[in-house]
Amino acid sequence: MKLFPHVFLAVLCVAALAACSKDDEKNPDPDGQYDLISFEPSEHMVDVNGEEIALKSVTMSLYEGAGYADFTFSSVYCGKEYATTADYDGPLFMTADGSVKFLSYYASGFDYWNGIAVAAMPDMQSAASATKQQFSVWAEGGANNTPTYAVCYDSNTPSEGYPAGMSKSGYPTFTLAQPRVIDHLYIANSTYVYNWFQGEEDDLFQVKITGWKGDSEVGSTTETLISGSTKLAGWRKVNLASLGAVDKLVFKVAGIDITQDPSYFCIDEIALVKE
């Protein structure tokens, strides 16, 4: 069978994405070069009160077609329990030593979150998009055969034309107490986003990762998770060492139609070069 050049290239791209998602899932640190953040219980991450975090059932009111209804996510950690009397917006959880902090937002009156949360709800079975998939990753689990991962929701990019709707944590962000070199992390599609895009020619979902040191940008890289009919399945390793030492990483979704497309993705296995 003869393949036209553009078809052949598309086949190669799909094969490369599939190979990447398989080949990357190996021992993440065989030589002990990194301080790894993989969001696992064994890391004893803590909340802003110094209490160890744990995944649990969380019930939210979700809009699905005909209206709102309660839905319980089975294995999630987010800011809901911290927003009982007012919205929560800022560092929500951190490494056990407090050196790396992850920002999140929760609106007490709207059952609405953004920023960074933690989950263990992989889903590669669903065939249609739904807000019930917002904490699910299109993978068999976390990166490198771990169960847990972080979910990112960029709500600021769709709200840039309406500043009042933006929050401090709306661009998924984590900060470091001291500048460190981040060698790499892993990224994957949210199940919600993976199913939302139906393979149209102009489908595009990208994540721009920007490193900061003090008040200055030191560099960035952009990862394409969906392009036309090509979708990342599983996890991809993203090299970040070229950014040098940073004290903040900010994630921003690009390429989407901000009026309608969801803006979720997942990250895992953040590798800080040991000092």
Predicted local confidence at residue 241, as pLDDT: 98
Backbone φ and ψ of 205, nearest 5°: -140, 115
* pLDDT tens, position by position, 171-196: 999 999 999 999 999 999 999 999 99
CB atoms inside a 10 Å sphere around CB 37: 23
What share of the chain in percent tops pLDDT 90?
A: 81
* pLDDT tens, position by position, 19-36: 444 444 467 788 899 999
Q: Which domains does the chain have, with CATH numbers?
A: 33-273 (2.60.120.1350)
**Residues 23-29: contacts with CB within 8 Å, 24+ apart?**
24/143, 24/144, 24/186, 24/234, 24/235, 24/236, 24/237, 25/143, 25/144, 25/145, 25/234, 25/235, 26/144, 27/144, 28/143, 28/144, 28/269, 28/271, 29/271
Predicted local confidence at residue 26, as pLDDT: 60
For 44: left if phi > 0, alpha if psi spans -120 to 50, otherwise beta; the answer is: left
Rounded Cα gap, residues 12 and 24, in angstroms: 18
Of 115, 168, 145, the residue nearest 234 (C-alpha): 145
Rounded Cα gap, residues 115 and 193, in angstroms: 16
Of 82, 142, 78, 148, the residue nearest 115 (C-alpha): 78
* pLDDT tens, position by position, 67-113: 899 999 999 999 999 998 899 999 999 999 999 999 999 998 889 99
* pLDDT tens, position by position, 221-249: 999 999 999 999 999 999 999 999 999 99
- Strands, E, within 136-244: which ranges? 149-153, 173-189, 204-213, 216-227, 230-231, 236-239
